[in-house]
């Protein structure tokens, strides 16, 4: 079994972005520390929009250099970096020490004119490659919002973005910001596609590596909120920003079974073993988790560390570049 621990490396996109130190640098160092000497490799999907938007802001020079240094540290430790795009950085402004994201109206690529959206993808891929000194060929859409893909598919092929990991089988969320509907995908198995990420095409140029899905019970979410109230120190996120609204998603989670992603964030990390068992029972050869350094807690780092130590001699903890080169 190949286990791919992936992390979206980014700030928050709600009312408060949080700080680079608490959302990216510190929690990523925690992740790197628990992987040392264990032949465990991660994949970081880097939200390169922040680096582009902060290029000419003198006030952010030092923190930006710290991020670039950490990206080099990530690569030096043998981990992988791939492309993550939150396009609202195109309209973000930095004023009085605070990012104004404008994410409500510019969260998805299809919120932009087509020519602009295509240029964003080209520019962001080229910039990330310039920053890290190597090519990238795996994409993860911000907020999983890869739909509709048809207007962009030929450009992805042209620039060599031929792998994606945005899909969560059976997952659906539609709000003012999100437009995600993967409800027709019924398996976590990788597949090829062309113009529509939900339509499997054996001859498609794109390969989808779905994030492993998991069925969460309402009891899980009641426990999540209860644990957070009872032991705030252990369960408090290291990231110091605020999330965008997910509509009425919280109430749905508390009242009925819901499909989501297998995650290393916070209390979600307690489901890693159950997710692994499910993937094995289905006869799949890969488990792909999603996490966010900003979503780390003291508790989740301990749980992930124990999970790695328990299974590192049983399964292969690999990065995307290792999978694609094998």
Say which CATH number the domain at 79 has.
3.20.20.370
Write out the two tokens for 96.
């009085």
Report pLDDT for 227: 81
CA contacts within 13 A on the Cβ side of 132: 27
pLDDT digits 0-9 by tens, 84-137 = 999 999 999 999 999 999 888 899 999 999 999 999 999 999 999 999 999 999
Report pLDDT for 205: 95
The pLDDT mean for the chain works out to 95
How many percent of the chain have pLDDT more than 70? 99
Question: Please, are residues 63 and 26 in contact by the beta-carbon 8 Å criterion?
Answer: no
Contact call for residues 15 and 242 (beta carbons, < 8 A): yes
Which letter, b or e, does each residue of 171-203 get, where b requires 16 or more Cβ atoms within 10 Å of its Cβ? bebebebbbbebeebeebbbbebbeebbebeee
Residues 6+ apart with CB under 8 A from 62: none
Specify the pLDDT at position 299. 97
Total domains in the chain come to 1
Structure tokens at 5: 């621990």
User: Under a CB-based contact definition with an 8 Å cutoff, are residues 95 and 11 in contact?
Assistant: no
The pTM of this model reads 0.97
The whole-angstrom separation of Cα 98 and Cα 59 is 11
Going by C-alpha positions, the residue among 30, 26, 35 that lies closest to residue 5 is: 35
pLDDT-above-90 percentage for the chain: 88
- Summarised one tens digit per residue, pLDDT across range 248-295 is 666 788 778 899 999 999 999 999 999 999 999 999 999 999 999 999
Name, in order, each residue with C-beta under 8 angstroms of 271's C-beta and a sequence gap of 6 or more.
214, 216, 220, 262, 263
Position 67 scores a pLDDT of 98
Report the pLDDT value the prediction gives residue 298, as an integer from 0 to 100: 97
| Residues of the domain holding 91 | 2-325
What pLDDT score does 61 carry? 97
- pLDDT over 80 at 32, yes or no: yes
Q: Which element (helix H / strand E) includes 206?
A: strand 206-208
Specify the pLDDT at position 275.
98
pLDDT in tens, 169-191: 999 999 888 999 999 999 999 99
For 211-253, what is each residue's pLDDT tens digit?
Answer: 999 999 999 988 888 888 888 899 999 999 999 877 666 678 8
Q: Which residue carries 């000419």 as its tokens? A: 56
Q: Give 210's contacts (C-beta < 8 A, 6+ positions apart).
A: 165, 167, 168, 169, 185, 187, 188, 189, 190, 288
Please report, for residues 216, 220, 246, 253, 279, the alpha-carbon distance to residue 257 in angstroms, rounded to integers and kept in the order given: 6, 10, 17, 7, 19
């Amino acid at each position: 079994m190949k286990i791919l621990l992936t992390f979206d490396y980014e700030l928050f996109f709600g009312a408060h972005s949080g700080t680079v130190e608490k959302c990216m640098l510190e929690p990523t160092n925690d992740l790197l520390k628990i992987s040392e000497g264990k032949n465990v490799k991660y994949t970081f999907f880097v939200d390169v929009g922040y680096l582009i938007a902060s290029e000419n802001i003198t006030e952010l020079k030092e923190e930006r250099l710290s991020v670039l240094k950490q990206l080099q540290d990530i690569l030096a430790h043998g981990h992988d970096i791939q492309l993550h795009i939150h396009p609202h950085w195109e309209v973000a402004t930095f004023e009085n020490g605070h990012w104004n994201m404008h994410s409500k109206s510019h969260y998805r690529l299809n919120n932009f004119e087509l020519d602009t959206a295509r240029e964003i993808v080209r520019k962001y891929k080229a910039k990330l490659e310039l920053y890290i000194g190597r090519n990238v060929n795996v994409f993860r859409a911000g907020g999983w919002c890869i739909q509709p893909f048809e207007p962009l598919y030929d450009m992805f092929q042209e620039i060599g973005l031929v792998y994606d990991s945005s899909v969560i089988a059976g997952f659906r969320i539609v709000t003012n910001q999100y437009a995600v509907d993967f409800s027709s995908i019924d398996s976590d198995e990788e597949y090829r596609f062309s113009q529509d990420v939900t339509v499997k095409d054996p001859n498609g140029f794109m390969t989808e590596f779905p994030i492993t899905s998991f069925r969460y019970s309402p009891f899980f979410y009641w426990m999540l909120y209860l644990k957070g109230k009872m032991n705030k120190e252990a369960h408090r996120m290291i990231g110091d920003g605020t999330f965008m609204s997910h509509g009425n998603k919280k109430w749905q989670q508390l009242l009925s079974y819901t499909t989501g992603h297998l995650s290393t964030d916070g209390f979600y990390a307690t489901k890693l073993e159950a997710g692994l068992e499910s993937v094995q029972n289905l006869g799949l050869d890969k488990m792909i988790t999603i996490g966010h350094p900003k979503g780390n807690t003291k508790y989740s780092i301990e749980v992930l560390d124990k999970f790695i130590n328990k299974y590192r001699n049983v399964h292969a903890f690999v990065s995307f570049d290792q999978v694609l080169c094998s």
